[in-house]
A and B are shown apart, each in its own frame.
Chain A
């Protein structure tokens, strides 16, 4: 199992979700993907995207202006 880091801070929509998508394509099932994003539209987007793609949103939290999310590839 590997862990990937996505730093999409400063990127605006659709940058962050596209970065996550690209990284997910590189990852294997069971891998973790940690994302750091400053575009707040990402909060809703990532929830819907995980649900629709059956990937697990392990955690999502706001830390100041940064949204930190962890995904588990299905």
Chain B
């Protein structure tokens, strides 16, 4: 048996390569092997399948093998494990996982879309029953069966990444108690710490327990079944553990034949999807790529990236030219009724990549404030000092975040500067946006900050100052008295904006000390800031994003 084009792997990238190859070449023979029972399933939908939002398995499986045969004339062979590749002979050795028989299959061009698998680190007790991962539809079906037997009363989710948090929400929505254990100091590490803190608070408000900075040291159980998770922050009794620590690329087949590997053992590919062997191509979660902003190697496996890479690889192996420009690390996540999205570089990533970055956070409404359903969003823009080149952006809130994030993706992809973003002609009518578009506004504020017209301080930095006994500054809340009564930053003092100039002598001692001005969203604080500067308070600054974006304690 021989195929002109042979594909290993059948989820997003594999099936995309198959379908696109067929569209480019109606005559070649195409074969696809996968170890799974299913092909073309929506792996990213699995948390919502667990939660019952997606009710049937069929909704998640986009195409069945016979459909790919009928529509694209691709021979799909499930439960087939490719054991080895012989690049000289152009053959692969395949094991039929059901019959246990091996056979050799020839190919003209080979595409590796082997994906990635969940990490299972060697933690003591990890082999016990009741410790699961979530990667395939079968994994989800196994967990759903336990849920329907009422066998899960409490879940420990190890890993506070995107999947871990989405699963936590879905378990909690089913009324199952949930504890998320994250080793790092914050959940969702691609987000800036102050945003992650808000998401963490929101999980807690929805009865999900979150332990950060907690390392799992071992699992204990009875009769081979897990009952306890030992962490550096205490022991948690549970009857189910979901490991969502991350994934590792399935690159062993490539490694065994000496193909060049890249970052974190991904299969190294050029932008067209070529590996270091001329007849072998690669796409999807097993494949390394570049970061659009830094140009450096990157690996941020996502279904959205896999599909684009698959298309490019198919074009390349059928003789056309195409290139995948790389990833921005764009993601968006729902945490109950709070949403967060990010794209490009975070502050730390930007510094690590050699940029001198500046950021600014702005809180505003997603729609006209008078239109029903208008909700706040907080936008953090990150740019390079000096050039003003946009490097990244992060947005969270109850309002619409995916639209401005996608607009930022376009801006970043085309190399826009903050100045450009401040004047782009975004769509406006009251049900959709604000007359001063949130991105226009955020960019304008960052332009002000970069040109020295505004001095801001982020929540994180102000919080650090408050914890520092040597800090001699003042936190000055300029909201009206009842607003201040309702909630305020501990240790802050209140002079309403309307009385600020008449009572300026009260704060005269802070002329050469730092004064952080606080208001609800940041606008009044800017007005107050301008007046304090006029009166010679040279180190006045405003809390960026306002109290709304303050993730720490209020009283």
Q: Find the B residue at minimum CB distance from A13.
A: B520
A71 at interface, CB cutoff 8 A: no
Known: A12-B369, A14-B479, A14-B480. Is A49-B520 also a contact (CB below 8 A)?
A: no
Check B520 against A17 for contact (C-beta < 8 Å): no
Q: Which residues in chain A, 5-63, are within 8 Å of chain B measured between CB atoms?
A: 12-14, 17-18, 20-21, 45, 48-49, 52-53
How far does the alpha carbon of A25 sit from the alpha carbon of B540 in the complex, in Å?
32
B486 at interface, CB cutoff 8 A: yes
Interface residue from B479, B482, B487 paired with A20 (Cβ < 8 Å): B482
Q: Which residues in chain B, 475-491, are within 8 Å of chain A measured between CB atoms?
A: 479-483, 485-487
How far does the alpha carbon of A65 sit from the alpha carbon of B371 in the complex, in Å?
12
Task: For A17, list chain B residues within 8 Å (CB).
Answer: 480, 482-483, 486
Check A21 against B480 for contact (C-beta < 8 Å): yes
Check A18 against B480 for contact (C-beta < 8 Å): yes
Task: For B486, list chain A residues within 8 Å (CB).
Answer: 17, 45, 48-49, 52
Separation in Å of the A38 CB from the closest CB of chain B?
9
Task: For A13, list chain B residues within 8 Å (CB).
Answer: 520
**Chain A interface, >50% SS class:** helix
Known: A14-B520, A45-B486, A52-B486. Is A21-B481 also a contact (CB below 8 A)?
A: yes
Check B487 against A14 for contact (C-beta < 8 Å): no
**Chain B interface, >50% SS class:** loop
Task: For A49, list chain B residues within 8 Å (CB).
Answer: 482, 485-486
How far does the alpha carbon of A56 sit from the alpha carbon of B483 in the complex, in Å?
18
Check A21 against B482 for contact (C-beta < 8 Å): yes
Separation in Å of the B5 CB from the closest CB of chain A?
58
Separation in Å of the B199 CB from the closest CB of chain A?
20
Q: Find the B residue at minimum CB distance from A65.
A: B372
Task: For B487, list chain A residues within 8 Å (CB).
Answer: 48
Task: For A18, list chain B residues within 8 Å (CB).
Answer: 480, 482-483
Separation in Å of the A37 CB from the closest CB of chain B?
13
Q: Find the B residue at minimum CB distance from A48.
A: B486
Check A14 against B483 for contact (C-beta < 8 Å): yes
How far does the alpha carbon of A66 sit from the alpha carbon of B494 in the complex, in Å?
30
How far does the alpha carbon of A52 sit from the alpha carbon of B479 in the complex, in Å?
17
Task: For B369, list chain A residues within 8 Å (CB).
Answer: 12
Q: Find the A residue at minimum CB distance from B555.
A: A52
Q: Find the A residue at minimum CB distance from B369.
A: A12
Separation in Å of the B356 CB from the closest CB of chain A?
37
Sample of 30 A–B contacts (CB below 8 Å):
A12-B369, A12-B370, A13-B520, A14-B479, A14-B480, A14-B482, A14-B483, A14-B520, A17-B480, A17-B482, A17-B483, A17-B486, A18-B480, A18-B482, A18-B483, A20-B482, A21-B480, A21-B481, A21-B482, A45-B482, A45-B486, A48-B486, A48-B487, A49-B482, A49-B485, A49-B486, A52-B485, A52-B486, A53-B485, A65-B372
